[in-house]
Amino acid sequence: MSTDSRTTNAQLFERAQRSIPGGVNSPVRAFRAVGGTPRFIARAEGAYMWDAEGTRYIDYIGSWGPMILGHGHPAVLDAVLSAAREGFSFGAPTEREVELAEAIIALVPSIEQVRLVSSGTEAGMSAIRLARGATGRSKIIKFEGCYHGHADALLVKAGSGLATFGHPTSAGVPPEVVQHTLVLEYNNIAQIEAAFAAHGAEIACVMIEPIAGNMNFVRAAVPFVKRIRELCDQHGALFIFDEVMTGFRVALGSAQSLYAQAIPGFTPDISVFGKVIGGGMPLAAFGTTRRIMEKLAPLGPVYQAGTLSGNPVATACGLATLKEIAKPGFYEALAVKTKALVAGFQAAADANGIPFCTDSQGGMFGFFFASELPQNYPQVMASHQQRFNRFFHGLLDRGVYLAPALYEAGFVSAAHTEADIAATVSAAHEVMAAEAALGA
């Protein structure tokens, strides 16, 4: 196909807006946060994506985390093609979904049983329902800046005072739906203590992203996680780790394995997974002890169901992915690449006198145009938005695809090479130099 015969990204975006709200099927893809025209991706392979115009990009989104092996890994592709030939969906149990459940349980000691679903939103919503059903309580605690999917009860912003109940952040969510949702500041021990002091006997669960990937990349401090664990134990609430993003991405045992190293005996009560366990297919899961999971239908009174849950093609993709990432040395090699990338970004900023900071874990990373790593959502909001936007577009123009929003984490895959990292860092130096020249 010649370049002249290709449909442009702008043409596709204009066409898309006539039939799809905002021209996209998930809001951040619209580039509203950074400006410009979204890239319509035609294909991907390894660490690269090509848009409708034939431009190649080094991909640091990786479908927002799942593509830890890169795009089109041969073992994963073979597994998916084989499964597809056997049938796309049966609406009945398969051996493969049992195998995937067993694989997840084997890698995550806190889990004795799992239920497979089709999306992270579905898994998070179901985990909360299970917590409420298991405790007989209604109130839930979440933290500002943590995203757990678009279930009504979770689309809520912080209240105006300390440990106050929030208000809907989306039209279509009645205030009474979020009246039991308490929104607190991330990494604020005083607030979580105040919340339990005021409502401890009513709280069903505390839900958290252990590394908040929807604030870019913000870690839950070890003392903060430890205190939540203590308060949940003291008051009979359940502690939910939302590892949709961090699960099998930051470590083979997921983020909870990192906290277990720092907090002796630590485990969450319920874990939520997505992204990597599906290898790029629509698949997620939630799990906990057998005692709590037996509250789910058909054994118990908590109802949850899904036509495509445990989909045979998705489970094949997930199983093949988990098999590859469990190989010795996988995460060590992945972490080396990720650290090289963020160190390169930091060096580029430092060389040009630009306030900048980075963090990473495993194959997940973040960076901020700020002098110190933020610890909560207000601090993230205080970082330099316009500098991020210019950095994003500068790299995009040089063939590097980062998340098109300040608030999203980035991802490195096993397919990224030293040359890819070097090319990205070289581009960052050019963009940082141009930024320094602006003097803003």
Q: Which DSSP helix (H) or strand (E) runs through 258?
A: helix 255-262
Q: What is the CA angle 54-74-59, rounded to 5? A: 40
397 is catalytic: no
DSSP 354: -
Report how far residue 231's alpha carbon sits from residue 213's, in angstroms, rounded to the nearest whole number: 24
What count of other Cβ atoms lies within 10 Å of the Cβ of residue 401? 23
Candidate list 48, 59, 139, 242, residue with the active-site label? 242
Q: How many CB atoms lie within 10 A of CB 98?
A: 13
Q: Residue holding tokens 């590394």?
A: 211
Surface-to-core class of residue 144, CB atoms within 10 Å of its CB (0-12 exposed, 13-18 middle, 19+ buried) = buried
Pairing of strands 113-117, 139-143: unpaired
Distance in angstroms (rounded) separating the CA atoms of residues 142 and 163: 11
Count of residues for the chain?
440
Residue 397's contacts (CB-CB under 8 Å, 6 or more residues apart) are: none
Question: Using an 8 Å Cβ cutoff, are 421 and 343 in contact?
Answer: no
Q: Is residue 78 annotated as part of the catalytic site, yes or no?
A: no
Find out whether 250 and 362 touch, Cβ atoms under 8 Å. Answer: yes
Active-site pick, 59, 60, 139, 275: 275
Q: Which of 48, 57, 60, 147 is catalytic?
A: 147
- Do the beta carbons of residue 354 and residue 432 sit within 8 Å? yes
What gap in Å lies between CA 283 and CA 123, rounded to an integer? 9
Residues 6+ apart with CB under 8 A from 436: 352, 353, 354
Q: Are 58 and 420 in contact (CB under 8 A)?
A: yes
> Catalytic site residue 339?
no
Catalytic residues: 147, 242, 275
